Amino acid sequence: MTASDLERALLTQIRMFNLPKPEVEFKAFPDRRFRFDFCWEDHRLLIEVQGGVWMKGGHSSGTGINRDTEKANLAVLAGWRVLAFTGDQIKSGQAIQWLKQALEKKA
């Protein structure tokens, strides 16, 4: 499954559980190119879907890991809550459970 397949799967689960619709490809920092897969701005919640964790790719390279941690850390320092989900967590239903918990807590 590609990252976009996983994002679609998570969006399907969000609809199934009647959770608020997120903004997609959210740019949290106007001066940076970083985008987060999903955002609930009123909850100060950002989601990253980690596709390809078991294969060599952009997010699993040293450069990709450095970029992803920088992005998440800057978001936390700016007052956002950040959750990252793997494909296994999305497929098992664990991601949607964590997301439900996070949305129940308003920032």
CATH code for the domain in which residue 91 is found: 3.40.960.10
Say which residue the tokens 């098992």 belong to.
92
pTM: 0.86
Residues 37-82 have pLDDT tens digits of 999 999 999 999 987 554 555 455 577 789 889 999 999 999 999 9
- Which residue stretches of 3-93 are H helix? 3-16, 62-77, 87-92
Q: Which residues span the domain enclosing 21?
A: 3-104
Q: Which residues contact 58 (CB under 8 A, 6 or more apart)?
A: 52, 64
Predicted confidence (pLDDT) per residue in 18-29, tens digit: 999 999 999 999
Q: What is the pLDDT of residues 92-103, one digit of tens each?
A: 999 999 999 999
Number of domains in the chain: 1
Phi-psi region of 52 (alpha: psi -120 to 50; beta: other; left: phi over 0): left
